[in-house]
Amino acid sequence: MFATDDGPFKSFAVQASLTALKNEIEAVKAKWRVSQVTLSPARPKPNPYWRGEVTPDLYQKPDIITSTAHTTCWRGVVSPSVCTSGAKVCW
């Protein structure tokens, strides 16, 4: 499961994409009537808003990897920072 969001700087975009990912996970839990899930990081492919691809020079390293999500960020066309967060969701 993946979610993308943007922001004026990387830390804001990371938090926004993680919040969007959490909202997606909660929606899936509600849809399938599941209360407990196990999360693990899943490396996301960028989901750019305004360009066809994200070239290597646009990435804002390092990726943010936790026990539950993997976040990749890059410089956007309109926003200074865009991030996609990914998680594998199991129940």
Q: Rounded to whole angstroms, what are the CA distances from 82 to 31, 33, 35, 36, 69?
A: 28, 31, 30, 30, 16
DSSP of 7-62: ESSHHHHHHHHHHHHHHHHHHHHHHHT----EEEE-PPPP--SSSS---GGGB-SS
Per-residue pLDDT, 76: 95
Per-residue pLDDT, 34: 96
Taking the C-alpha atoms of residue 43 and residue 78, their distance in angstroms, rounded to an integer, is: 24
Q: What is the mean predicted confidence (pLDDT) over 84-89?
A: 98
Find all residues with CB under 8 Å of 16, minimum gap 6, and list them.
Answer: 5, 6, 7, 83
Q: What is the pLDDT of residues 13-63, one digit of tens each?
A: 999 999 999 999 999 999 999 999 999 999 999 988 888 899 999 999 999
pTM of the entire predicted model: 0.94
Per-residue pLDDT, 55: 96
**Residue-range domain boundaries for the chain:** 2-90
